[in-house]
């Protein structure tokens, strides 16, 4: 796993904002203090990134006009070749955790902090 600063426009959100209050609090905090917290866990998809965590933080960063944010880029290797993945699997934290633990223990630890 590598921590990199990545442009927010290059990151695909895992899901839309669900908790509007949480989102608004994050926006206000980011406008005042910038990014403050854990990096997002993302998978490099050839110069574009898919976020596994932090949908609210990513949306708030965009709203607060932060153009780059810290991301933990998963060293996924052949992770997806060994799993028959469906869209519903990617919505299951325990499924994602199993994949991450096998291929990138550090990323799995960051992921678990967001899921718990």
Any idea of the CA torsion for 42, 74, 103, 18, to the nearest 10 degrees? -20
pLDDT at 116: 42
Q: Are the C-beta atoms of 11 and 42 separated by less than 8 Å?
A: yes
pLDDT at 57: 95
| Per-residue confidence band for 107, with pLDDT thresholds at 50, 70 and 90 | confident
- Between 2-16, 44-58, 68-82, the lowest mean confidence (pLDDT) is in 68-82
Q: Domain 2-115 has what CATH class?
A: alpha beta
pLDDT at 1: 74
pTM, to two decimals: 0.77
pLDDT at 98: 79
d(C-alpha 25, C-alpha 41), whole Å:
21
Could you count the other beta carbons within 10 Å of the beta carbon of residue 10?
14
Q: Tell me the two tokens of residue 59.
A: 């949306």
Quick one: average pLDDT of 43-47? 83
| For the chain, domain boundaries | 2-115
């Amino acid at each position: 796993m590598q921590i990199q600063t990545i442009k927010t426009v290059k990151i695909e959100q895992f899901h839309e904002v669900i908790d509007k209050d949480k989102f608004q609090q994050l926006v206000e905090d980011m406008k005042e203090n910038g990014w403050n917290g854990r990096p997002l866990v993302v998978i490099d998809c050839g110069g574009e990134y898919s976020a596994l965590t932090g949908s609210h933080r990513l949306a708030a960063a965009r709203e607060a006009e932060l153009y780059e944010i810290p991301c933990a880029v998963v060293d996924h290797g052949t992770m997806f070749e060994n799993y028959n993945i469906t869209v519903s699997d990617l919505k299951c934290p325990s499924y994602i955790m199993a994949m991450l633990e096998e291929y990138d223990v550090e990323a799995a630890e960051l992921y678990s902090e967001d899921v718990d």
